[in-house]
Structure formats: structure tokens, C-alpha cells
Amino acid sequence: MGLREFVVRRLVQLVFTFWAFFTLLFVLFRLVPGDPTSMFLLDGMTPEQREQRIAELGLDQPLHVQYVNYIEQLLTGDFGQSFIYREPVIDIIVVRFMNTIVLMGTALFFAYLIGVTFGALMGWWRGSRFERGGIIVTLVARSSPEFWVGIVLLSVFVFWLGWFPSSGMRTTGGELGGGFIQRYGSIDFLRHLFLPALTGAIVYLATPTLLMRSTMLDVLKADFVEIKKAEGLPEMTVLYKHAARNSVLPLVTVMAIATGAAMGGSVVIETVFNWPGMGREMVRAVNTNDYPIAMAAFFLMGSVVILMNFVADLAYVYLDPRVEYE
């Protein structure tokens, strides 16, 4: 089966998964008690204003009508208007989504970088104290919830040593908005990004590290490693260019699951470090019954995971020449 058929078949599955995921979310959110007007009632919204706002949002229509409207709207790429902010969902969510992707992307990147390098070394120096120490450290890292790691890092690096800002994405007062580089490229931003990304990296490095180590153990037993050594190539070349390169394959398939965990974990890390990401926005939206924002946030989070699954499959085929498209 050629690459084209494989991609098409996977796309069809993708569409189905998105649709089912979507309907699940739609029903779920309509079950959350309360409606978008609840938060204004105590601040002076009169019952008439409330009725009128409910009607305006179309929440008084039967569920299936709302569902059909929503799907039509979505097919035209319009995520609708936020019930609370009254602005198009896209304008609000896109910036938040980027903030979360940059944060979690960096965290996962460091987690995989550490995972591959240290996992490979732990496999190479099997039986050494380094390996045993490495296993214990990774297991401890995996055993602590994100918020706990965050609190510890905050206490040590911010409140005690004062090396890093305590929260937010940039020092206040600077230029707002701007393009990607301008937002995420400045040193000031990197200083703010460091601790939250490190928190994520610590929690998510366990899976790639342990997986890398165990695949390394098998690969090192393979004949070709002995041949590469016999070829007189430098030790590090044999370790990384050959042994690690073969061991990294299973890590690709786990990437999608790790992304899922990262998407979930972002809610906690963003709360501890007041990071204006999509995780926290999603929680606010759920609490204030702002369905369009909550739906969009969930949709984007879910699609990142589904997409990563798709990318992982393609990457695996690219990385391992032995694999044909099953």
C-alpha cells in the first residue's frame, strides 16, 4: 500500500475521530450547570436583561438545533463568538494557544533532549552508578505532580535565590502584541519561560529517558554495534550516530501520548506560573459557561494530540526504512 493510500486512510480516520471528539465535547458542555449570565447577576444584571441575553446567544433553542448551527458555523471555519468576551473566539484563543504551544513545546523538547542523551548514556554505561542514579532520578521526577515541581522551583529559584521572575510572560509595561519573534524572541520572555518550561521538562523526561535506556540495552547487543566499534569510529559516534539513532524509533510513537499529557499538564503549570495560556483560559471558560471558548480550547488541545499521532506515524516511516506503510 503506497504512501498516498496510507495518508488517505489515516485522514479518514482523523476526520471521524475529530467529529466524534467534537460531539462528545458539545454534549458535555451543555450539561455543565449554569449559563453565561450567572456571573453578572450579582453585579446588577436584571432578570429581563438575562432573558434577552440568553435568547441572543440562542441557548434557549433545543439542543439539536444548537448542535446543527454550531457544526455549520464550524465547517465555515468560524468558531463563533465568546459568550462572555463577545469577541470572535479565534482572536482570543489563537494568542493563548500559541503561548501554550511555546511553553509546552519547549518543555517537551527539553524532556526529549534530556531523555535521548541521558537515556542513551544510561544504556551505554549499563550497571554503572550513573545508570542506577539516573533511574532513581527519573522515577522521582515522574512521581511528582507538575504543581509540586512548580512550587519547589518557585520556592528555590524565585523566592529564595531571586534569579527568575515569579510569573507571567514578560516584564510589565513593554510593547504588547507584535509578531512571533517579537513576542517569543526576547531575552525577557526567555527568562519568564525558563521555570515553567523546566517544570514541564522535569515531569515529562521520565518516559523518553527510561524508554531510550531500555531500547539502547537491546540495540547495544546487536552485531552492527560491534562492527562499528571494530571500524575504529569514535565512541560518541558509535553511541549517538548508530546506537541512539536506532533506539530513538520507539520514542517517536510515544511522542503523541507525551503531547497529550503535556496538554493536560499545561493547566496546572499555567496556574502556578500565571502563564496566559490556553489551559487556564479553558478552566475559566468552563467556570463561566463560555461554551465557544471552552469548545475551541478543547478542540485545539485534542487536535494537537491527534495531529501528533499522525505526525508520529509519518515520522516513524521516515525514520525506519524497514517499515512499509502498513
Site for other proteins in 232-261 (CB under 8 A): 232-234, 242, 245-246, 250, 254, 256-258, 260-261
Rounded to whole angstroms, the Cα distance separating 52 from 70 reads: 20
Rounded to whole angstroms, the Cα distance separating 110 from 193 reads: 12
Instruction: Write each residue from 22 to 41 as x if it is in contact with other proteins (CB under 8 A), else as -, in one continuous string.
Output: --x---xx-xxxxx-xxxxx
Closest contact distance (angstroms) between CB of 222 and other proteins is: 6
Beta bridge partners of 81: 88
Asked if residue 228 binds other proteins (CB under 8 A), the reply is yes
Q: Which of residues 250-309 bind other proteins (CB under 8 A)?
A: 250, 254, 256-258, 260-261, 263-265, 267-268, 270-272, 274, 276, 279-284, 286-289, 294, 297-298, 301-303, 305-306, 309
The count of chain residues that interact with other proteins, using the rule CB under 8 A, is 130
Q: Which stretch binds other proteins (CB under 8 A): 1-9, 15-23, 71-79, 193-201?
A: 15-23
Q: Which of 2, 15, 48, 161 binds other proteins (CB under 8 A)?
A: 48
Closest contact distance (angstroms) between CB of 165 and other proteins is: 6
Question: What would you report as the CA-atom Rg of the chain, rounded to the nearest whole angstrom?
Answer: 24
Closest contact distance (angstroms) between CB of 268 and other proteins is: 5
Q: What are phi and psi of 295, to 5 degrees?
A: -60, -45
What sign does the CA torsion over 169, 170, 176, 178 have? negative
DSSP assignment string, 224-239: HHHHHHHTT--HHIII
Q: Which of residues 136-175 bind other proteins (CB under 8 A)?
A: 136, 139-140, 142-148, 151-152, 154-155, 158-159, 162, 165-173, 175
Rounded to whole angstroms, the Cα distance separating 252 from 305 reads: 13
Asked if residue 95 binds other proteins (CB under 8 A), the reply is yes
Beta bridge partners of 88: 81
> 3-state class of 264 per DSSP?
helix
Listed residue (316, 322, 326) closest to 9, CA to CA:
326
